[in-house]
Amino acid sequence: MRWLARQRAFLDFTLLSLWRRKGKNAALILAYALVVFLVASVMFAVRALRTEAANVLAGTPELIVQRMLAGRHETVPESYVATVKAIRGVSRVTPRLWGYYFNRAAGATYTVMAPAGFAHGHGEIVVGPGVARTWLSPVDGQYLFRTVAGDSAGFVPVEALPEDTELVSGDLILMSGADFRRVFGLPEGFYTDLAVSVPNERELETVTEKIQRALPDTRPIQRRELLRTYAAVFDWRGGYVIVLLSGAGLAFFIFAWDRATGLSAEERREIGVLKALGWDTADVLSMKLWEGLTISLTAFLLGLIAAYVHVFLAGAGLFAQALKGWSVLAPRLDLTPAIDPTELLSLFFLTVAPYAVITLIPAWRAATTDPDAVMRG
């Protein structure tokens, strides 16, 4: 208890002393908070994007089978469906029709899909929120597509997809199978790829192997491979943004070092007086450490709050482009707040730990100052 009361007294004294030099300390805290803010923004955004990708992929099939021809993706003939379905462990095989459509006027590429149970009729489409936003000049309320035959086909948008799935459905256009084949010239009996459902995850490897043996010209892709790729890509991007930011961090730490080393005459006199009044080196060192801790924690909290607002309320404007890596059709994305306590620990190690270490020697120098020398000087 006595120890606690003593530390409280130190903290009390430190806060008052920091307050006396508020201008100078505010500048330091602001610069420090900026460094924390930058790193924290990247970390929050990466985590949120990973969570978003995982949520999106949760609804995708466990296995996708593509056919390859000369190392390129080819259409799959209908006969493959029965072959895959005959494999034990496969519960359902859905042939899929999808492709990319480049709209010259919008300068954007859209994903066009023909879902199996498309609820609307011929000549009607369902569009994602990004499509509605970017598709320029619909004629008479119709979206005009240029088909492979060279003529144009008009489609009436009858429904818009909800905004909350924008990361996946932003650039999506849904149409019937017949319309899809007309626009892209895909012959009957051929599909883009097969979505394979394997309910037991442990059978996935064996099923994958069997598919490759039965259909050697195919490439099965597992959902967890996709998840792994997304996680690696987002982490990698986040990591590199932090590496790029390390310049700013280094500049700040040099500034902090410089500031901690260059004690003002007033601060030196203050330490001299304290020591003359009976404070010993350990006390002054405690005070200096409390000072560092106060500055660190204040800046850490400020930076953290600012990063939270930036990422989850303002859409991570500063880094969104670098981290998401989308082109023209960047989806408008509200990231779901997701913070991991251990992430805060890494943030702490990236920002507070170096600060604590570099300000240690200046703090010690100040604490071991000879009162006599200071008061005379």
Of the candidate residues 289, 316, 335, 366, the single one contacting another protein (CB under 8 A)? 289
Quick count: other Cβ atoms within 10 Å of Cβ 324? 18
- State how far the Cα of 90 lies from the Cα of 295, in Å rounded to an integer: 59
Q: Least separation, in Å, of the C-beta of 70 and another protein?
A: 24
Q: Does 5 bind another protein (CB under 8 A)?
A: no
* Structural element, H or E, at residue 76: strand 76-77
Of the candidate residues 239, 317, 325, 377, the single one contacting another protein (CB under 8 A)? 239
Contact predicate 336/48, CB 8 Å: yes
Residue 119, classed as helix, strand or coil, is coil
Q: Which stretch binds another protein (CB under 8 A): 82-90, 133-141, 279-287, 314-322?
A: 279-287
**Cα-based angle 69, 72, 78 (whole degrees, multiple of 5):** 55
Site for another protein in 240-259 (CB under 8 A): 240, 242-243
Q: Which stretch binds another protein (CB under 8 A): 23-31, 90-98, 129-137, 221-229?
A: 221-229
Q: Least separation, in Å, of the C-beta of 230 and another protein?
A: 9
Query: Residue 320 contacts by C-beta under 8 Å, 6 or more apart in sequence?
Result: 45, 330, 333
Nearer to another protein, 235 or 334 (CB): 235
Total number of residues that touch another protein (CB under 8 A):
37
Q: Does 36 bind another protein (CB under 8 A)?
A: no
Quick count: other Cβ atoms within 10 Å of Cβ 189? 11
Nearer to another protein, 153 or 245 (CB): 245
Contact predicate 252/350, CB 8 Å: no
**Cα-based angle 89, 90, 91 (whole degrees, multiple of 5):** 110
Q: Does 43 bind another protein (CB under 8 A)?
A: yes
Pair type for strands 108-113 and 172-174: parallel
- Which residues form the interface with another protein (CB under 8 A)? 39, 42-43, 46, 224, 227-228, 231-232, 235-236, 238-240, 242-243, 281-282, 285, 289, 342-343, 345-347, 349-350, 353-354, 356-357, 360-361, 363-364, 367-368
